[in-house]
Each structure stands twice: as structure tokens, then as C-alpha cells.
Structure 1
């Protein structure tokens, strides 16, 4: 039985700790603001140091592509537009069931605004049961459950590209034929039809995913394993590029510190930001870690007003060297309820008109979703697999094998 009297004494310690941490957080934020103001005046010099010593810097950092004091109001989106989103879920294999297999379920959403057309909201299940699907990853020391999540990421991108192609050709994402995706399997035909024919003039559209477009987990994978995950994703992005429909990753409550880490270059007390020579052990307390654990979103909360975006950044994560010409850019946007990190491939960021319009469509989605993009939320709802779904899935497997 829980002793509430003793628990109350423990709570007093937590309260004191939180009060102290609040003071420390405010001090870190004020220090970061001071360094940001200094960086306004010497941004180019800091960037030159960053570029010169990039191979010697041991912490993740990003490069600002616009002045750090950039504050841009996001434009109002056109009334007629389309938003596309995918999200995924899965059922893990179970040794106690009749068949050792797993399922990926990809939620699909296509929302048409101002077009008098039916939306698409459904999911595509895919079962993996062949030995090469179940045991291939073990040669690289990767558990089946982990490999399943990596393949889900690739499937989400591939299905999103399918929808983008159909929107671009006039089908509006409301009917998909059988496809070939190599390692990712095939999908069944969906016979839903659009309400009215697609107009001849192109309609502004946006493809969205939940989370980052920088797949950090790839850094830990062997080359052979990585080559089964990343190429299908980049190919899907290339198809979106060919369709001229921008891709965007939406990060809510981002924990990223790439922007704040740029200010660490200004806080470095050494003659050069040569971490390899001066501070090889980044796990220890190093002189430039004066803001830790301050996040980018905490800093930009003090700099932006609702409906504004901050400067555009280029991520310098080493895994992006494998992305070729589709490296990732990002900015921070005050969406009203929070500071969101918005990520796009280079081909979106470098097209100013496309990028501005994409941000407008994103902000409209957040407003329609009362603080979160409605298309992504609906894709998640379509994809999610609940406990009852797991039970029914394995019941179907057993019945099929009876």
C-alpha cells in the first residue's frame, strides 16, 4: 500500500528541483539570446569558421542560409488545394502464433479543398512472411522488430509517392493500381473514384509526413542493410520532384539542437572549433556547452510570433551525404500552439515560390487540425493498429492455414 504521507515528503524534493531547474533554464535561454544577438553581427565569420573546421567539429550543427534575424510572415494559401499524407503502423511477429509473420499498415489520406471532391482516407495492409523478409536482417545483427520499423519508413515514402503521382495525373489519389516496389512488396488495387474529373489546370498540393526526413537510424546500419532502405525513399522523393508536388516533414515538439549548436561555435573559447584536438570527449562537460540542454524550439519561441518562420537552415548531418542532391533544409515556424520544425528536401527549399506556398498549406492544416496538421492526424488514425486488430489479424492467419 502506498504511504501518502511519506510520498508527500518526496514531492517536496521534486518541487524544489523543478524550481531550481526553471531558474537554470531561464538563465540558459537568456545566454542563448545574447549569443544569437552577437551572431547577427558576425554571422558570416562564424559560418566561415564552421566550413573551415567542419571535419573537426564533433557535434551536430546546421548552417543558416539566411540572416539569423530573418522573420517572414507565412502567406495565406490558395482556397483550392490538395494535401496528401501517409503514416504507418505494424503488428510484430509472434512465435506463439501459427505463422511467424508481421504486418505493415500504411494509412493514406488525400484531402481536397475547394474542389467538391471526395477525400481518400484508408489504409493498405501488407503481410511479410517469406524467410528473406523475416530473417535477412539477422545477418547484420538487426532484430526483426527493428527491421520491420525501417521497412515501414520506406513503405510510407513509397505509398506517398504513389498518391502524388495519382494526384498529378488527375486521379486525385482515389484509385491505385497494382505496383512493383521490389523489396517492399506490392499493393492491391483500390477502386474508389473521384467525384468530378480533375481540372486541367494544376492545383497546388502538398505531401506531408509525420517526423523528420533525416533518417538518423541509417548511420548505425551496415551498408548492405542501408541500401535496402534508403534508395526506395530517395526514388519516391524523386517522383514527387518530377510531379512538382513539394514534400514536407512536420516535427512537433522537436528535441533538435542543430540551430543552438551553431551558436556553440561562437561560444568556443579555443583559437578554432577543433573538437578533435581540444575536446575529443563530447560526453564530458566542454566549454562551449553553455546552453545544454536548451532546444532550438525553446530559443525560437522567444523570436517568432504566430504565423512567422525563422531563417532557413541546411542540416550538416553526415548521413545526408548519401542523399545526393536531396539534402535536407529546415526552418522553425510559429504555428500558434508551438514552434514546429519544418523539413524539406533541397529541391523544395531552393524553389522560393514552391516553398512559400508549401508553408502556407502547412499552416492551414495546423489551423484546421486545432494545433496539428489534420492530414497527418487522419493518416495516423487510418494506420493505427489496436489490440483487437492484432487479435483479428492472427485469427485470419489461423483460419487461412486451417
Structure 2
């Protein structure tokens, strides 16, 4: 049990620290704004430097594909349109439960606007209990719990594509439509796993993207409170004090520390750890978007032609990062419609896309759902004639207390 009286005595230190950080962040923001103004006059030169020296850089920076001073107002969404979304949740496997298995539940939402069609709000549960489901990942030194998360991401994409392609028999769809996912389209977490495992998960995701591209329905990754530094890292090229941004030669990482626990920073890191959203918060008016950026994340080398682009949009309640694949960016009219439908979803959801919020509500597995799931499983196991069905003593004891 948390002792609130003891906890209260520790909070003033946090308040003091946060106040100091806010002051320091204001100075870093002013530095970044000055570098942005300087970079606007010759951003193409910086892009060329980035391309020429990309193999010598020790940081990942996105590449702007529009002038840095681009500010474009997003038009209103067309009256008639459709929005599709999926989100997932899970019950993790535990050796203390009745059976060692896990469940993935994918919420599905289809909202039609301007037409007389019923919405779809439901979920698709799937149980994984076979040995190949539970232990396949061990060959790549990946824990089952971690593999479950990867499977969930792939399943969300697959269900999204199946749902989108089943709505219309025509290609492209008769009304503007988008498919939304919560979070980034850049799956950074796949970088550090075995290539065979990565290809298995990413292959399913990209197959789903191929189907969406063929159907002409853009997939959109919506990031609320993004912590990305991809765009602002581009300004490190402007802040570099050397003629060439040869990081490996001039600023190779070492074991030196500028202060306890803080690695020594290179001269170009004058604004870290400032995030992208902090910079665009001062320059974008409500309803405006930033320049388009092409992500240069290493994992995208495995994406084939599905290069990921992004921009920041002032949706009113916050600065959101919106990601789309390259084939959407290549069609300016489609990109404009995609952004307008996404912003409309945020407005309808009072600060967050309503389709994603509903998909989450359909997918989420609450405590009562978990209890009923294992109760149904226990009943089925007893019906099958299995004996000694029950949770471990540890789990049973944790569920009750004498205190």
C-alpha cells in the first residue's frame, strides 16, 4: 500500500526540478528557432550534405521534401467519407494461470459520414495456445510476451486491410476513405531482432499495406504527444561547427561524461533533448501543417517502396504527428484529402480521432473480461476431462488478502 504521507514529502523536490527544466527548455527552444530561421535560406544545401554524409552521421534525421517555412492550411473534409480504424489489446501468457496461452483482441471500427450506412463497432478475439505460437520466437531469443506484442501489431494491420477491402467492390472506393492506426508506421522495435523474425512480422504488415494501396485507401499513423526528434535533428546539420558533418571523425562517441550520468554532447546538440512538437508548437496556427518530411529511419530500408513520410499538424488541442506512405504523398490531392479527414476525426473526437478512440474501447480487455476469459477456459477444460485445473497457489494468494 502506498503511504501518501511519506510520498507528499518527496514532491517538492520534483516541482523544483521541473521548474528548472522548464527554464532550460525555453532556452533550447530559442536556439532551435534561430537555427531553423538560418536553415530556411539554404535547406537544399543541408539536404545535399545529409545525403552525401549519411554514412558518417551518428544520428538519425528526417529529410525535408518541402521548404522549411512551409505552412499550409488544411481544408475542410468532404461531407461524404468513410473512416476505418483498428486497435489491439491482449491478455499476456502466465505460468500461474489455468493454461499457458495468450489472447489478442482487435477492435474494428468503420464510420460512414454523409450516407445512410450503419457503423461497424466490434472486436475479433484470437487465442494462441499451440506450441508453434508460444515457443516459435525462442529460436530468435525473443520472449513469448514480447513476441505477442509483435503479433498484435501485425494482426492490427491485417485486420485493417481486410476490413477496408471488404467494404467496396470497386477500386478506388466510391467516397473518400482513410484507414487509421494509433501510433507510428515506423516500427522501430523491429530493428533489434533477428532478421528472420523481423521479416516474418514486417512481411505481414507490408502485405496489408499493399492491399490498401491497391484499394486506394490511405493508411495513416496518428501520433499524439509524439516524442520524436527526427525533424529537429535535421537542424544539427546547421549547428555543426565543421565544414563536413563527419560525425565519426570529429564527434565519435566516447566514455566521457559532462556531468554524473550525462554523456558528453557534441557541439551540434545544443538544443537536445528538445522534441519536434515543441518547435512546431510555436510556428503552426490551428489547422496548419508543417513541411513534409521523409523519414530516414534505418528500419525503412526493409520497407521496399513503402517509404514513410510525415508532417506535424496543429489540430487545435495539440501538435500531432501524422504519417503516411509514399504513394499518398505522390498524389497531392489524395494527401490533402487524407489530412483533412484525419483533422476532422480529431475535431469530432474532441482532441483525438473518434474512430481510434472507439477502436480502443472495442479492443481493451478489462479486469472483468480477463476473469470471464479464464472462467470460460476452465469450464472448457473440465468439460474435456482434464484434472487439476486451477491457478497456482501464488496467483490464488495474490487475488486475496488478509490485510
Q: TM-score, normalised by structure 2?
A: 0.89
1:271 aligns with one of 229, 232, 243 = 243
Q: Alpha carbon RMSD of aligned pairs, Å?
A: 1.8
- Deviation of 1:12 after TM superposition, in Å, equals 4.2
Q: Distance in 1 between matches of 2:90 and 2:264?
A: 38
Residue 397 (structure 1) aligned with residue 369 (structure 2): no
- Deviation of 1:107 after TM superposition, in Å, equals 0.2
The match for 1:94 is 94
The match for 1:372 is 352
- Deviation of 1:160 after TM superposition, in Å, equals 0.2
- Deviation of 1:166 after TM superposition, in Å, equals 1.2
- Deviation of 1:280 after TM superposition, in Å, equals 1.9
Please give the residue correspondences for 1:303-314 in structure 2 after superposition, counting only pairs within 5 Å: 303-314=283-294
- Deviation of 1:97 after TM superposition, in Å, equals 2.8
- Any idea what SS the aligned residue of 2:238 has? helix
- Deviation of 1:277 after TM superposition, in Å, equals 1.3
The match for 2:164 is 164
The match for 1:319 is 299
Q: Distance in 2 between matches of 1:139 and 1:72?
A: 49
The match for 1:48 is 48
Q: Distance in 1 between matches of 2:199 and 2:137?
A: 12
Any unmatched runs of 5+ in structure 1? 171-199
Residue 221 (structure 1) aligned with residue 201 (structure 2): no
The match for 1:142 is 142
Residue 104 (structure 1) aligned with residue 76 (structure 2): no
- Any idea what SS the aligned residue of 1:229 has? helix
Q: Could you list the per-position Cα deviations for residues 182-217 of structure 1 after superposition, in whole angstroms to 9, with x for gaps in the alignment? A: xxxxxxxxxxxxxxxxxx971110100000000001
- Any idea what SS the aligned residue of 1:396 has? helix
Q: Structure 2 vs 1, CA of residues 14 and 84 (structure 1 numbering), >3 Å: closer, same or farther?
A: same
Q: Could you list the per-position Cα deviations for residues 94-115 of structure 1 after superposition, in whole angstroms to 9, with x for gaps in the alignment? A: 2123321111000000000111
* Residue-pair matches, total: 373
- Deviation of 1:60 after TM superposition, in Å, equals 1.3
The match for 1:340 is 320
- Any idea what SS the aligned residue of 2:233 has? helix
Q: Structure 2 vs 1, CA of residues 359 and 3 (structure 1 numbering), >3 Å: closer, same or farther?
A: closer
The match for 1:292 is 272
Q: Structure 2 vs 1, CA of residues 380 and 201 (structure 1 numbering), >3 Å: closer, same or farther?
A: closer
- Deviation of 1:3 after TM superposition, in Å, equals 9.0
Q: Distance in 1 between matches of 2:19 and 2:90?
A: 41
Q: Distance in 2 between matches of 1:245 and 1:134?
A: 34
Bigger CA drift: 263-272 or 301-310?
263-272
- Deviation of 1:270 after TM superposition, in Å, equals 1.8
- Deviation of 1:271 after TM superposition, in Å, equals 2.3
Q: Could you list the per-position Cα deviations for residues 264-314 of structure 1 after superposition, in whole angstroms to 9, with x for gaps in the alignment? A: 111011221111111221853111111111000000001100000010000
The match for 1:241 is 213
- Deviation of 1:395 after TM superposition, in Å, equals 1.2
Any unmatched runs of 5+ in structure 2? 255-262, 383-403
2:203 aligns with one of 222, 225, 231 = 231
- Deviation of 1:394 after TM superposition, in Å, equals 1.1
- Deviation of 1:57 after TM superposition, in Å, equals 0.6
The match for 2:257 is none
Residue 209 (structure 1) aligned with residue 181 (structure 2): yes
- Any idea what SS the aligned residue of 1:134 has? helix
- Deviation of 1:13 after TM superposition, in Å, equals 3.6
Residue 58 (structure 1) aligned with residue 30 (structure 2): no
Q: Structure 2 vs 1, CA of residues 93 and 15 (structure 1 numbering), >3 Å: closer, same or farther?
A: closer
Please give the residue correspondences for 1:169-208 in structure 2 after superposition, counting only pairs within 5 Å: 169=169, 202-208=174-180
Q: Could you list the per-position Cα deviations for residues 358-389 of structure 1 after superposition, in whole angstroms to 9, with x for gaps in the alignment? A: 10000110000000000000000000001111
Q: Distance in 1 between matches of 2:155 and 2:4?
A: 50
Q: Distance in 1 between matches of 2:134 and 2:201?
A: 15
Q: Could you list the per-position Cα deviations for residues 150-174 of structure 1 after superposition, in whole angstroms to 9, with x for gaps in the alignment? A: 000000000000111012327xxxx
